[in-house]
Structure 1
Amino acid sequence: MNEQDAWETVRSAIGQVAPDVDPEDLVEGARLRQDLELDSLDFLRVLETIAAKAGVDIPEGAYAEVGTVGGLVGYVATHG
């Protein structure tokens, strides 16, 4: 999957789980849990939504890597 598609997948997943998150807040350095204020359940829902839409399963060992929007986009682009 290319980076553009990965961005769209991540934007869509976050928008579905947290519709109150402003799309302008989706910058590479934005931390999902701290900056976007996703609680742990919302974080897991975002990952599940990405798995369902893009077929990219993100194991628990990669959670630190996908803690930011940019990290999540990069992971999806690399593994999708």
Structure 2
Amino acid sequence: MTDQDIRQAISEELERIAPDIDFGAVDPTSDLREELDIDSMDFLNFITALHQRLGIDIPELDYPKLTTLDGAAAYVAKTLGESAA
């Protein structure tokens, strides 16, 4: 899965949670909860959606690594890379 594929999957799952957001305007280094004005339950739904869609385990201790678009993409890429090895 390429970085573009990963970012597309992340964006699609976030769009399900915050459908009115222009993702082209979202700063990839800013906290998603603040940028998208989502609460902790929405963020948990995002984590769960990534787990289900991509088949990756995301332990609760790793949730802070997924708070930005760049962080989420890097985490998913690393996790997918490790599971493929």
TM-score, normalization by structure 1? 0.87
* Structure 1: stretches of 5+ with no match in the other structure: none
Q: Distance in 1 between matches of 2:24 and 2:4?
A: 16
Long gaps (5+) in structure 2: 81-85
Aligned residues: 80
TM-score of the aligned structures, taking structure 2 as reference length: 0.83
Runs of 4+ in 1 over 6 A off after TM superposition: none
Identity of aligned residues (%): 32
Specify the code of the residue in structure 2 equivalent to 1:29: T
Structure with larger Rg: 2
Structure 1 residue aligned with 2:12: 12
Name the one with the larger helix percent: 2
Q: 1:63 is matched with which residue?
A: 63
